[in-house]
Structure 1
Amino acid sequence: MEQQLGAKFEQILNEPTDASTSLQALSLARSLILNPSTSDSTISSLLQTLSLSLQPDRDPLSLRHTLSLLSDLAAHRRHLSQSIFQTVHSFSLLCNPTSTRTLAASLSVLASIAESNQTLASDLSELSESLFLKLCFFPSVSVRHWLLLNAERFWIRPPLLLTVFLGFTKDPYPYVRKVALDGLFGLCKSIVVEDCTLVESCYCRGVELLSDMEDCVRSSAVRAGRRFRDNAISIVLMLWSWKNVLATLTTGSSPGSIAFMLQYLRVVKLMAKIWLRFISPRKVCLYGMGEVGLLLGKLDTTLREMRYRFIGLSKEEELHVLELILLNFILRLSSVEVYYDFTTLKNLHSTLSRVEFLHEELSIQPSNFVTELKKSLHEIGFSTDGPFYTPFLIQKLVEFFSLKQFVFCGKLKHIIAELDVHDNDFENPFHFISGLPVGIPLEITLYNISRENRLWLQLAVDETLTEFVFLDLERFGGSNQIRKFTFVAPFYKTPKANSFSMRVYIGMECLSEDVYSFKRRGGPKRELVFLCKEKEVFLSMGVKE
């Protein structure tokens, strides 16, 4: 029976017929596609026939029905989705630019397929942005309305999409103005807008539309004004308060307190950038996965410095920092770049235990974010055999997180170090003999470091040639406030080269971390937080004159 239907479909479609007969053929095809019992050979034949019939000179109505059938076929036969995507993609490039409804239908099919097959995201983004913009400015109101209503499906860069929405809030047709304003409202809910001028433009346009003649536009303006007003107040007040806080600190607080607030400012700025990329996997793809990893790395380093390089934080202040660290762990575990990071997961559990302990000591209730995080971890369990990432989980947890007002009242001491290498540069290198150890004379000054701290020198030629030297503070004089001494650091595995350079760091072991991250013999067991900028040391086998 299915073979007869398939043959009849091909016969009707290939013979010169009127539009109603073509629609009859397409109806037969749909019945075969939707029937799960249809054989693979019949489906393959249908795909071939539909692909061949997708010609730009055909009747526009029949073309749109054909595209609809290809969309159904991709949805019901996932293994054919990539082939169908490429067929429709090629058709879109050949289609007459004035055939706006057909092009819009093509774009819809491509977006639907890409939503279920993320490997096609880059192909869609290359086409969809230019095609979306082109179609938006054609005369068809219905197509423009549909495009704006479905804009977030098409992988448009958020800054560009924001500008498009803002522009079409001035469209002459009220339902286009409404959907543009709704889109603007939705986009501003899901991204962090750092451009104060753009926030002001959105706010002013929302205010203007409060007096629009159409009820539907006015109702959208009320919801959108509020949002833009709130965005403006988070940006303006945040920047104003930071400037004033820092100005106050510079006149009445310790250098450690100023340094801490500057670090906090860096954390919030990094969070804002990362938040934009974690709203959906699409935006991660648009901005590039490497950039996300780089931002997460900077955030991780800055938060570790806030936790370990300052003495005198109150328990309330420590709790605030720890919640930021928990959010960082969630973002890192949920990154599409990280398939599974058992070390980060163990650190998350360890940090959460410390947060729970502080809640008990301070007799306070956990935040909604911490409560939901504990529930989520209980649901997924402490698994070690699968990825942590689920889009729903990250969305839910991020929605519960809120950046609380940080009431900072203490005077902090900043743990820092100074590292100097005298009489050494590219033109005046230290002498070494390849294969033999070499000593590197270093001038070291330490501030606010006690003997309980574990300090290490890290000497790195490259990623594969790195050595660690433990600094035993019992050997050096001075006090916890300041220690100054000369130390000759041994480097054992000098490379087989006429000359080379190495980077020298001073790092402090993060003792409260339960997870051992380093596995090198003789090196630190936990992560290091670096206390000063690196110094580059130059060495050569040439003999000094």
Structure 2
Amino acid sequence: MAMEQDVWSKCEPNLSLNTKSPSRRPRLEALASARSLILNPSTSDDTVSSVFETLAPSLQHDRDPLFLRHVLKLLSDLALHRKHLSRVVFNTIHSHALLNNTAEALSVLVAITEHDRSSSSAITELNEDLVISLCFRPRVSVRSWLLLNSERFFIRPWLLVTLLLGFMKDPYPRVRRAALLGLVGLSKSADIEGRGLIEGCYDRAVELLLDMEEYVRSAAVRVVSEWGQMLVASDHGVDKRDCSDALFVQLCSMVRDMCVEVRIEAFVALGKVRWVSEDILLQTLSKKVLGSMKEKKFIGRRTTKEFDLPASSAAGTFIHGLEDEFYEVRRSACLSIGMLTIFSVQFANDVLDLLMDLLNDDSTVVRLQTLETMYDMATCDRLNVQETHMHMFLGILVDNSILIRCAARKNLRLMKLPVLEMFKSVVDGLLTNLETYPQDDDDVFLALFNIGRSHGNCAVCFLKEFAQEMEPSYEGELGLDSARVAALLVLAISASLSHGHRVCQIPPRVFSYSVPLLGRISRSLRDVMNQDTLLAYLSYCSRSIAYPATELNFRRDGPILPVVESGIPNNKNDERVNPVWMPLLQIRDGTSEIQFQNMWDPMQVATPLEEYRQKVNEEATNSLKCILGTVSKIWPLIQSGCTSEVLRTLRVCKEELATITMDSLVSVGSLAFTSQYIRVMQLLAKVWEHFLPRKMLHSYGKGALDLLLEKLDRSLRGMMYMFLGLSEEEELHILELILLTCILRLSMVDICCHLTILKRLCATISRVELLCKKVSIEASNFINELKKSCCQMSPSFDEASYNPFLFKKLLELFSLKQVVFSGRLILIKAELDVPGNDSENPLPFIAGLPVGITFEITLHNISSENRLWLRIAVEEFSQYVFLDLNKLKGCDEVRKITICAPFYRTLKATSFSFRACIGIECLYDDIHLVKGGGGPKHELTYLCKEKEVYLVHAASSISFKFIPQQASPSRRSHRSSRSRLSSFSIAISLHHRRDSASQSPFIAATTPPVALSISTISATDPSQHQSRDLFSPAIFRTKDVRLRVWFSGDDFFSASPNPSMYQLRSSHPVNSITVASVSIPETRGGS
């Protein structure tokens, strides 16, 4: 209450009429403050009434239009939020509207009336008499507003139509346009009756099609369209068709208007016509007047009959529209064509040539609209593409826009291809699309599947010509990384599902070739069938050669699935249906209602489920080895600089990896290791590109290369320290890649930290030698030459012995070998979370004080020998908290803990966020790369994604608890006689909005000295008020901050009170000393 009175007392002088000539800005600021009081539901009625009493006189006496506009808005909010003042505000604004005749006042009156329909007296005052009287006022803005909002008033329809027709002849174009738009709104009313009234509105709008103002003609086109449709609906029989044709021709006359907006509106209106004769539609595609159109005429106006409208006005309508210089006009013309093709097959066939030309339009919007129009034609069975059209249509499959390519493939799914040559060209176009844009593979496969299923005969003929591409090479290898092979296999599957062809005509081995690509294919066909259904179908078809036709439940002269006329499978005549076909019986129009698990009947499936699962897991393990083998073969491409081809192959490998089923027999660690290895190869390919000779001629940013090398180092450390169960061979392979990374860094001429890298290089070589001796493996030529080069250098690694060109020669000796899994890998990972914290629910903090953050940590497969650190970083500052695993409970596989970690670097800001992450220390590195600061001595490998923690400054309540203590004898002799207390302790509690979680038993952090100002009052003599500054260490936790303080009475000195202090009171005086306040002064040099 006191606060709102204080706010209003500051605002009222600037809003009062007694104030002499206040400037505009303070008055507007006062209005903003007044609005906050009105919208605040806690504001008392007395304050709101005072606001209204101050603002109401301004409507009568103030002459500032901007100020009056804001006052009206404020009074509107007042009436809408304070119902008891609604009627009073309405009467005040109503009198102002009658006197000053402003559109803003009328808008507020209508808004109040619509909000409170229960006020019958207010509704009756906004009657037709008021509207008519205001319409004849001299202000143009009032007339325009009334005509645009005429349907919001209570006016009889026939009277409103008369009013609008009258103002369509107003001398001001703004008023004429408002009257036309008022008619558009009125056309949606069901109360309009009478053909004569409709004809009158239509004729008046036709007259305004020739208006001098562009926006008036644009509004007139809309009226002609809407009221013309009403006129057509009121006719019957033959006259109805003639009336619709007349409306269409009338709109065609406006497509050559000089104004772009008028032309756009005209084409939009043409698409809304519900019936057009075929001869008129054909005339719109020819600039030359057709013979049947030369003498044909329509009635231009219905009431006056002043002129006849020749049908030749429609000549070349869409030719002009599609050739317009503005893409908005071309787009609207194309949209209208799609709506009109339903009326005539001949029109649809003729307009297709124009649409094909439009596919080369410069505007992406126009090309996209053209494809959407063709798709609408296809859904209405009006798209009849000829062989001459295919070249132009298939060209957009390699368009730069992904939206265009997607829309083109969408059309191909519905397109009818009557001859084999057209089918071949479509498939070739899709394969070219796949080679040019590999990221479109899912959509390309789905398009091939739909085309093959709709044209089974053509698909089989096509596959016979390209069967050799789907067969293994002479070495027995099938190109599983080839997108073209995968596409042809999808086409084979779709052909076998065609209702018009037999499975027997496709070799069964083709279906077996599809099994390794199951994940990739099923992902693209997920809208048609699930992966298990597809796997069962492929398995059955690959063995179908051993089964008679009766076993597969189809006749040799019939389709593969029983079909009825509606295209839905019918099995009434079948005594038994093989379970493999059951999920496929419901595959129609992209749906599969029967799930895979329903078909696994132990009585019908020959292979037991456990045996099948074991086989699938073996195939998954073999797939991992196959993927790693493919990765190892790309090294010559990396050396040659074929980076694009390398990245494309690795991307395919990663997609295949994502489709491998993760089961109990396929460890998550193996999948994660393979994924990380592919990531390393991707980074290595990008890094190697910078070291190619031809690339050295160009200026590459050193920062980009350093960033790639840093990512490569981090990924290799992850492979080394995030997996348990690595064999010596696997570890040697990773160490060799680490050595290669060091050589790449040392090959850079402008490297600044070569001494550190050389130390790491020698440490890694030593570890490689130990592993080679342990497993009796001979080191590679690359490692042997590297050892010789290091021996030639000075033991101190001085500048004279460092030669970057020596290391460049070693790059030629490196050769990538294949990684072979020797056992099951276990992934080390961590999960980090801050419960209840996100951007919308930040944690509170006080600037300058440490804050305790509760972390929930889940550790997987981490032993007590590992050294884990919690890293907290904000901007360039990083803080580390050690996690002592020996004090944690739980097994090695999964450990869940909750800790409260302090964060000291709280910024002087309203809010901020920091990043937290769990890292494992790389103990096997013999070189210390991180020094000082109480953090890790070795580099960290992070086990989880960074967690963003959000904080917001909050004024936390602080309470004190006083614990008297006895001083030691040595200290007691030095104290003043004024103080009977030798020492005392202060316990400070920070009460936040949330309850803190359980405290960690192994986290204890000590802050730097915190500045406190303590004032004391003697309990025996209250006049003694003394204060001093104190610096002492403190231990901060989530809720408690404990601080031990010693001081003597001789050291007291006076200090002025700080207004920012937290005023505190103790519950009772303790030994004549009461702590009165505590403040945290600013420290120099930042937070």
Partner of 1:453: 866
Q: 1:190 to 1:406 in 2, by over 3 A?
A: closer
1:529 maps to amino acid: T
Partner of 2:948: 536
Q: Does 1:483 align with 2:928?
A: no
User: What are the superposed Cα offsets for residues 171-191 of structure 1, whole Å, 9 maximum, x if unpaired?
Assistant: xxxxxxxxxxxxxxxx98953
Q: 1:312 to 1:431 in 2, by over 3 A?
A: same
Structure having the higher helix fraction is: 1
Partner of 1:399: 812
Q: Does 1:303 align with 2:719?
A: no
- Residue pair 2:641, 2:692 contacting (<8 A) in 1 also: no
Q: How many Å separate the matches in 1 of 2:709 and 2:800?
A: 18
- Residue pair 1:313, 1:412 contacting (<8 A) in 2 also: yes
Q: How does 1:305-324 map to 2 (within 5 A)?
A: 305-324=718-737
Q: Does 1:194 align with 2:643?
A: yes
- Residue pair 2:657, 2:671 contacting (<8 A) in 1 also: no
Residue range with higher mean Cα deviation, 349-358 or 330-339: 330-339
Q: 1:363 aligns with which of 776, 801, 815?
A: 776
Which protein has greater RCO, CA pairs closer than 8 Å, 6+ apart? 1
- Residue pair 1:322, 1:355 contacting (<8 A) in 2 also: yes
User: What are the superposed Cα offsets for residues 266-323 of structure 1, whole Å, 9 maximum, x if unpaired?
Assistant: 1111111111111249538533211111110110000000000100001111111110
Q: How many Å separate the matches in 2 of 1:440 and 1:364?
A: 50
User: Alpha-carbon deviation of 1:354?
Assistant: 0.6
Q: How many Å separate the matches in 2 of 1:539 and 1:241?
A: 38
Q: How many Å separate the matches in 2 of 1:529 and 1:519?
A: 16
1:435 maps to amino acid: G
Partner of 2:821: 408
- Residue pair 1:416, 1:447 contacting (<8 A) in 2 also: yes
Q: Does 1:523 align with 2:935?
A: yes
Q: How many Å separate the matches in 1 of 2:750 and 2:711?
A: 15
SS in 2 for 1:353: helix
Q: 1:506 to 1:237 in 2, by over 3 A?
A: closer
1:487 maps to amino acid: I
Q: How many Å separate the matches in 2 of 1:373 and 1:487?
A: 46
Partner of 1:468: 880
User: Alpha-carbon deviation of 1:239?
Assistant: 5.7
Q: 1:421 to 1:244 in 2, by over 3 A?
A: closer
Partner of 1:274: 687
Q: How many Å separate the matches in 2 of 1:457 and 1:237?
A: 34
User: What are the superposed Cα offsets for residues 208-228 of structure 1, whole Å, 9 maximum, x if unpaired?
Assistant: xxxxxxxxxxxxxxxxxxxxx
- Structure 1-normalised TM-score? 0.54
User: What are the superposed Cα offsets for residues 365-390 of structure 1, whole Å, 9 maximum, x if unpaired?
Assistant: 11010011011112223343328874
User: Alpha-carbon deviation of 1:400?
Assistant: 0.5
Partner of 1:513: 925
SS in 1 for 2:835: coil
User: What are the superposed Cα offsets for residues 311-350 of structure 1, whole Å, 9 maximum, x if unpaired?
Assistant: 0001111111110011111112222452233222111111
Q: Does 1:433 align with 2:433?
A: no
1:510 maps to amino acid: C
SS in 2 for 1:477: coil
- Structure 2-normalised TM-score? 0.28
Partner of 1:344: 757
Identity over aligned residues, as a percent?
51
User: What are the superposed Cα offsets for residues 371-414 of structure 1, whole Å, 9 maximum, x if unpaired?
Assistant: 11011112223343328874532332111000011111311111
Partner of 1:496: 908
Q: 1:251 to 1:395 in 2, by over 3 A?
A: farther
1:501 maps to amino acid: S
User: Alpha-carbon deviation of 1:263?
Assistant: 0.6
Count of aligned pairs: 320
SS in 1 for 2:799: coil
Unaligned stretches of 5+ residues in structure 1: 1-186, 197-232
Unaligned stretches of 5+ residues in structure 2: 1-635, 956-1087
Q: 1:368 to 1:482 in 2, by over 3 A?
A: same
Q: Does 1:262 align with 2:687?
A: no
Larger radius of gyration: 2
Partner of 1:108: none
User: What are the superposed Cα offsets for residues 221-263 of structure 1, whole Å, 9 maximum, x if unpaired?
Assistant: xxxxxxxxxxxx9986996699479848778420011000111
SS in 2 for 1:286: coil
Q: 1:409 to 1:234 in 2, by over 3 A?
A: farther
- Residue pair 2:873, 2:915 contacting (<8 A) in 1 also: yes
Residue range with higher mean Cα deviation, 489-498 or 503-512: 489-498
Q: 2:856 aligns with which of 429, 439, 443?
A: 443
Q: 1:476 to 1:236 in 2, by over 3 A?
A: closer
Q: How many Å separate the matches in 2 of 1:401 and 1:250?
A: 36
Q: How many Å separate the matches in 2 of 1:364 and 1:295?
A: 32
Q: How many Å separate the matches in 1 of 2:838 and 2:658?
A: 41
Q: 1:189 to 1:493 in 2, by over 3 A?
A: closer
Q: How does 1:84-483 map to 2 (within 5 A)?
A: 191-196=640-645, 243=656, 247=660, 252-280=665-693, 282-283=695-696, 285-386=698-799, 390=803, 392-463=805-876, 465-483=877-895
SS in 2 for 1:468: strand
- Residue pair 1:336, 1:389 contacting (<8 A) in 2 also: no
Partner of 1:40: none
Q: 1:284 to 1:310 in 2, by over 3 A?
A: farther
Q: 1:285 to 1:526 in 2, by over 3 A?
A: farther
Q: 1:448 to 1:378 in 2, by over 3 A?
A: same
Q: 1:343 to 1:390 in 2, by over 3 A?
A: closer
Q: How many Å separate the matches in 2 of 1:440 and 1:388?
A: 50
User: Alpha-carbon deviation of 1:508?
Assistant: 0.8
Q: 1:388 to 1:253 in 2, by over 3 A?
A: farther
Q: How does 1:15-26 map to 2 (within 5 A)?
A: none
Q: How many Å separate the matches in 2 of 1:303 and 1:266?
A: 10
1:496 maps to amino acid: K
Q: How many Å separate the matches in 2 of 1:481 and 1:424?
A: 27
Q: How many Å separate the matches in 2 of 1:340 and 1:357?
A: 27
Q: 1:370 to 1:534 in 2, by over 3 A?
A: same
- Residue pair 1:278, 1:284 contacting (<8 A) in 2 also: no
Q: How many Å separate the matches in 1 of 2:638 and 2:724?
A: 38
Q: How many Å separate the matches in 2 of 1:438 and 1:241?
A: 43
Q: How many Å separate the matches in 2 of 1:241 and 1:387?
A: 45
User: Alpha-carbon deviation of 1:363?
Assistant: 1.4
Q: 1:531 to 1:235 in 2, by over 3 A?
A: closer
Q: 1:284 to 1:495 in 2, by over 3 A?
A: farther
SS in 2 for 1:360: helix
